[in-house]
Amino acid sequence: MFKGLVAEIDSYFQRDPALRSRLEVVLCYPGFHVLLVHRAANWLWARGFRVLGRFVAHTGRLLTGIEIHPGARIGKRLFIDHGMGIVIGETAVVGDDVTLYHGVTLGGTTWRKGKRHPTLGDRVVVGAGAKVLGPVVVGADAKIGSNAVVLRDVPESAVVVGIPARSVTPRDNPAGEGAFAAYGAPSQDVTDPVNVAIAGLMEQVSTLRTRLDELEGELARRPPTAAEPLAEDAAERASKPTCC
């Protein structure tokens, strides 16, 4: 058990450059504190002490601002950064080495009993304020951008952003393959297909506008043809009243 706690603490160094010592994790990181409380609450819940398990979990919520239902299954080395406002529902499943930022909700979309909360694979990163709702499955190594709302399954290694969440294409990562992405999907590291489409349309509109200006200029410089004065005379005659 002690070795497991040391491994949990050491995993923080890989994902928080502000960290200076193990003692800092033990004393100052609410994400670590709430995990200790959750292990106890989950142990009680699994053995039928449901009310006591809920009470222990509620105590963790009061101390940390992080709400984890005692029935949720949490994997190893979960990293909760900042933590305030996180909600993890009863039937949620969180894999190993997952990262959650503040304001994340792993919630349900129905009042029916049964599996109604998300399942996160290993090494998933969920950015600040993101909502993953319903019994969706987020594949291993996927990244969910800040404030995204995920309502459908997310494939492995995908990057999703937006409301509702959609896949985007990561750009080349100078830090190397598999490098940690803070807050799920930094804007400078992804290419949004919607933005690309809009940029293409704007470029076409600009090209068409330039061509239209050229044609209008050519038409203005062109001398009138013989038919044009006749047309003007005909229009003038048509505007005069006819004699009865």
> Helix 30-46 crosses helix 2-13 at what angle (to 10 degrees)?
140
Mean pLDDT of 43-53: 96
Task: Tell which phi-psi region holds residue 183, choosing left (phi > 0), alpha (psi between -120 and 50) or beta.
Answer: left
Q: Which residue type does 68 have? A: I
CA 206 – CA 73 distance, rounded (Å)? 54
pLDDT band with cut points at 50, 70 and 90 for residue 49: very high
Average pLDDT across the chain, whole number: 85
pLDDT tens digits for range 56-113: 999 999 999 999 999 999 999 999 998 899 999 999 999 999 999 999 999 999 888 8
pLDDT at 175: 45
Q: What is the mean pLDDT of residues 31-47?
A: 95
Helices assigned H by DSSP within the chain: 2-13, 22-28, 30-46, 50-64, 193-221, 227-239
DSSP state of 45: H
Evaluate if residue 171 carries a pLDDT over 70: no
Amino acid at position 67, single letter: E
pTM of this prediction?
0.72
pLDDT digits (tens, 9 = 90+) for 120-164: 999 999 999 999 999 999 999 999 999 999 999 999 989 998 888
| Residue with more model confidence, 196 or 63 | 63
3-state secondary structure of 78: coil
Please give the full DSSP string across 61-98, using - where no structure is assigned: HHHHS-EE-TT-EE-TT-EEES-TT-EE-TT-EE-TT-
pLDDT bracket for residue 174 (50, 70, 90)? very low
In tens, the pLDDT along 90-103 reads 999 999 999 999 99
Mean per-residue pLDDT for 201-220? 85
